[in-house]
Amino acid sequence: MADPILEAQGLWFWYAGEQAPVLRGLDLAVPRGEFLALVGANGSGKTTLTKHFNGLLRPRRGSVRVDGQDAAGRSVGELARHVGYLFQNPEQQIFSPTVRQELAFGPQNLGLSPAEVEARVDGALARFRLSDVAGSPPAILSYGLRRRVTLASLAAMDPPLLVLDEPTVGLDAPGLAETFGWLAELHARGRTIVLVTHDMSLAAEHADRVVAMRQGQIIASAPPSELFRQRGVLSQASLVAPPVVALARALIPLGMRGDSRSVESFCEEYAALLAGRAAPRQPREPEL
Amino acid sequence: MSQSFDLYLPRDSWLHRLDPRAKLWAVLLAGALALIFRHIAVLACLLLLAHLVLLSARIPAARLRWLWGRLAPLLLMILILQPLFLPGPGPDLLRLGPVRLTLSGILEGVSFSLRAATLAFVAAALLLTTEPNALVQGLAKLGLPYSWGLTVGLAIRYLPTTYGLYVDIHEAQQARGWIVGKGNLVQRARSYLPILVATIIAALRLSDGLALALAARGLGYPAPRTALHDVRMQPADWLAMALATLLFAVLMAVRYGLGFGANPW
Amino acid sequence: MTLAIQIEQARFAYPPLAPGQPAPWVIDGLDLALGQGEWLAVMGASDAGKTTLCLLLAGLAPYLTGGELQGRVTVAGRDTADHPPPALAGVVGLLFQEPEAQLFNPTVETEVAWGLENLGLPLPEIHSRLDEVLALLCLDQVRQRAPGDLSGGEKKRLALASVLAMRPSLLVLDEPMGGLDPAGQRDVLDALSGLRRDRSTTIVMTESDPEAVAAFADRMIVLDGGRIALEGTPRDLFHRPGQLAALGVAVPQMARVAVTLNEKLGAAFSFTSVDEARQALAVYLG
């Protein structure tokens, strides 16, 4: 692939003083603009892998290239220009006296001009509906608002590649909708997204490609619908297919294709199938 | 995810089996000795003794190295700053303007840092080999109200957790482009602010939640508390305390009877 | 028969951040009656008051949190205003979302025993309850292990065990599925369903994950702005996705399938599990 934004080759990693390697000779290439879901059970090495993308961890063996250059020799601060990272429990990172200052932190670190920083902060405040609390201390805001502050902080840095580590933990439905609505926008604008999750419904619905990990190795890499057709993979990675996928697969003997990624696509297929079977009362075109 | 560093290492050793009260007594005496003596040889011997005790208690050398690693910055700072700021009497070895370096100053610095190291390892001897609940129980039997002892136990138990929070937050701020630990001393210190502030906030939230959880599980229930693992003084414990007291008495005699050990050399 | 929970006209506000600052009502006019052995799911957006409700049921609010409570909260016949939370510990068991904030003992065994020590139970009683609860939650293999070394699912089970050992008649769980991978979630759900089968503990569960709710809860309420906006059975409520979405509640995929197909085909499907759905849909295809 020409010019992947992220490339890991022969990546081995183990923590100092520990015998078992967490990553075992991993190869991964992520093309620009891809929405990649990185899935696997806890302990499979997903987070360890992603921490190599911004230099928080360095390979013991093998290499990592970020945005065309070797990550070795580049500091975490420098890589932060290319890679935005949202950790689990991101609200822990909040420390500023006001929301505005919190959002300005990242852009300032990138060395942007005050005018540019201002513009980015205003944009992020508006996009995440935080304008009303711009002057409030973020640490005492409600949980939902703090979560939005962390998303806005990431948005203000506007990196070409975003890594989100289990962003759905502790999120309610509106928070989920907001996060994924924003990710979809970014995806449409050509940003690359790596989503670390064990929630297969999300992976199925949003990702271009799913990479499944198990014990430090990649055991599968395919678009979601293809991945669900590979029966052994999910159970090997200790993952559970989303209910709608399980339902679609269960109805394969009766004519369903079995590769639905979402509720909508399943219902369209089912309705079309029914229309084909019965004498059509009302001709229904499947919505594409 | 943060790794967990538990201070307490369960092992099957004589030191682990001692009653927490006996160990506490020995630790207090050893600590007092470290404070009373300034002689480098004596302090070095105490430090060595602490190491031998720990190793005989099957504490892995790697753990001791880890502790030295954590202490190193502090010890280095003492070694450098003490002679520079408090030069002792005697001829100058070096002079840079108002700053004087003397042999006695250097020796004081060595003495001071040995003392710090000794205190740290003596405390480690207690914390590495004593089960936190047993320590709390021991304190309770000495008359300390249970909630006070629990506070001490929790503070110890949550040190690694707080450190884990610190590590996570350090990574998060770095990932936002923040550079930690560069520049002159003042810049370096300020670079830790975003991490420290966030860590303190997170730690406060955690302790808030913990307070609720403790009450929800009955802390403060209006009935006398029972204990699953009771601590009882055995003959071995009295013996250990006696030995520690004897050593202390001998060294005190040396110090105040013979007048030896007040000076670093 | 005493109700497990009776909340009458409750309003609760946390203390203001500084004197003179506003103290909004987090719970604002809540009435709830729950019978012994029922399983209630509490859903709603993240700031709707779910966690505060849990704290009220355990008597922690307002006793430890401060703030003002109006109306009455009665659990197992005891008014929480008259009983400090430690006194309620044998009656109400509260499980917090974050294991870190409640697992602090050196081993699994001492963790479970800690609450029992607080109750001042004699040692033989403590030992027998330990054995019972560790077996019930499949933790006897890891009895001497440090809580920090356990997996996410095991930690949750441990927290559950330490609460269950106190034999509460009411179990309050705050987001029990939170932060768990599918294996961990399965662990906890198995444990809870075992509980419901073998004892008749009343369970109140706040949860954002609708799949777990659909599988287990008898009743469901949706909180909004500190009061109950919707009330009914999960099956019933999950088939109103429009209303739920407006209240910030996710709907299980199977219910969404049923509703979507009903709209498309003018049908009247109603299923909440994959098996039900398969059976219902196969009829029209076969």
Instruction: Report pLDDT digits (tens) over A26-66.
Output: 999 999 999 999 998 878 899 999 999 999 999 999 999 99
Q: What is the pLDDT of residue B72?
A: 92
- Across the interface, whether the CB atoms of B176 and A109 are under 8 A apart is answered yes
Chain B 210-239, residues with CB within 8 Å of chain A CB atoms: none
Tell me, yes or no, if B4 comes closer than 8 A to chain A by beta carbon.
Answer: no
Q: What is the pLDDT of residue A256?
A: 85
pLDDT in tens, C127-179: 999 999 998 888 989 998 888 888 888 888 899 999 999 999 899 999 888 77
- Best mutation site among C65, C80, C98, C104 for testing chain B: the one with the most B CBs within 10 Å? C104
* Choices 3.30.230.10, 3.40.50.300, 3.40.50.720, 3.20.20.70: CATH for A6-234: 3.40.50.300
Question: Between these two residues, C146 and C5, which has the higher pLDDT value?
Answer: C5
pLDDT in tens, B153-192: 888 888 888 988 999 999 999 999 999 888 888 888 899 9
Section B102-109 average pLDDT: 84
Q: Is B162 helix (H, G, I), strand (E, B) or coil?
A: helix
From the CA of B168, how many Å to the nearest CA of chain A? Answer: 9
Spatial CA neighbour of A111 closest among A137, A78, A83: A78
Residue C50 has pLDDT above 70, yes or no: yes
Distance CA B232, CA B235 (A): 10
Distance CA B113, CA B121 (A): 12
Q: What is the pLDDT of residue C21?
A: 83
Which residue is closest to A163 within chain B, CA to CA?
A: B175
Q: Contacts of residue B172 in chain A, CB cutoff 8 Å?
A: 85, 87, 90, 92-93
Supply A272's token pair. 């079309």
Section C94-115 average pLDDT: 87
**Cβ pair A87, A27 in contact under 8 A:** no
**Cβ pair C148, B4 in contact under 8 A:** yes
Section C208-223 average pLDDT: 86
pLDDT in tens, A146-183: 999 999 999 999 999 999 999 988 788 888 889 999 99
**Cβ pair C127, C118 in contact under 8 A:** no
Q: For chain B, what is the mean pLDDT? A: 87
Section A217-236 average pLDDT: 86
Q: For chain C, what is the mean pLDDT? A: 88
- Best mutation site among B2, B162, B174, B176 for testing chain A: the one with the most A CBs within 10 Å? B176
Residues in chain C: 286
Strands (E), chain A: 6-13, 23-30, 35-39, 61-66, 69-70, 83-86, 161-165, 192-197, 209-214, 217-222
Q: Least CB-CB distance to A271: which of C254, C265, C273?
A: C265
**Cβ pair A172, A14 in contact under 8 A:** no
Distance CA A134, CA A151 (A): 14
Section C208-216 average pLDDT: 81
Q: What is the pLDDT of residue C1?
A: 61
**Whose structure tokens read 């859903």?**
C43
**Whose structure tokens read 């949980």?**
A143
Q: Which amino acid makes up residue C234? A: P
Residue C37 has pLDDT above 60, yes or no: yes
Q: How many CB pairs under 8 A join A and C?
A: 104
Q: Contacts of residue C67 in chain B, CB cutoff 8 Å?
A: none
Axis-axis angle for helices B146-175, B132-141 (nearest 10): 150
pLDDT in tens, B22-69: 999 999 999 999 998 888 888 999 999 999 999 999 999 988 998 999
**CA–centroid distance for A76 within its chain:** 20
Supply C201's token pair. 């503990």
Q: What is the pLDDT of residue B6?
A: 63
Distance CA A8, CA A70 (A): 10
Residue A279 has pLDDT above 60, yes or no: no
Q: How many CB pairs under 8 A join A and B?
A: 65
Residue A278 has pLDDT above 70, yes or no: no
- Best mutation site among B16, B151, B217 for testing chain C: the one with the most C CBs within 10 Å? B217
Spatial CA neighbour of A194 closest among A181, A185, A203, A205: A203
Task: Specify the pairing of strand C39-44 against strand C202-206.
Answer: parallel
Q: Where are the domains of chain C?
A: 1-86+169-176+201-239, 252-286
**Cβ pair B127, B156 in contact under 8 A:** yes
For residue A211, give the DSSP letter: E
Residue B88 has pLDDT above 90, yes or no: no
**Out of B25-29, B106-110, C227-231, least confident range:** B106-110
Q: What is the pLDDT of residue A107?
A: 96
**Which pLDDT band, with edges at 50, 70 and 90, does A252 fall under?**
confident
**Cβ pair A84, A161 in contact under 8 A:** yes
Q: Provide, rounded to the nearest whole percent, the portion of chain A with pLDDT above 70.
A: 96
Residue B3 has pLDDT above 70, yes or no: no
Neighbours of A132 (CB within 10 A): 10
- Across the interface, whether the CB atoms of B218 and C123 are under 8 A apart is answered no
- Across the interface, whether the CB atoms of A246 and C261 are under 8 A apart is answered no
Question: Between these two residues, C222 and B84, which has the higher pLDDT value?
Answer: C222
Q: What is the pLDDT of residue A230?
A: 79
- Beta bridge partner(s), residue C93: C171
Q: What is the pLDDT of residue A231?
A: 73
Q: What is the pLDDT of residue A285?
A: 43
ipTM of the predicted structure?
Answer: 0.88
Provide CB contacts within 8 A for A241, sequence distance 6+.
A200, A228, A234, A249
State the span(s) of chain A assigned CATH 3.40.50.300. 6-234
- Beta bridge partner(s), residue C222: C43, C230
Q: What is the pLDDT of residue B11?
A: 84
Spatial CA neighbour of C249 closest among C45, C51, C47: C45
Which residue is closest to C256 within chain A, CA to CA?
A: A263
Chain A 156-215, residues with CB within 8 Å of chain B CB atoms: 157
**Which pLDDT band, with edges at 50, 70 and 90, does C212 fall under?**
confident
Supply A118's token pair. 């201002």
Task: Specify the pairing of strand A83-86 against strand A161-165.
Answer: parallel
Section A251-262 average pLDDT: 84
* Choices 1.20.1250.20, 1.10.357.10, 3.30.420.40, 3.40.50.300: CATH for C1-86+169-176+201-239: 3.40.50.300
Q: What is the pLDDT of residue C6?
A: 93
Provide CB contacts within 8 A for C17, sequence distance 6+.
A140
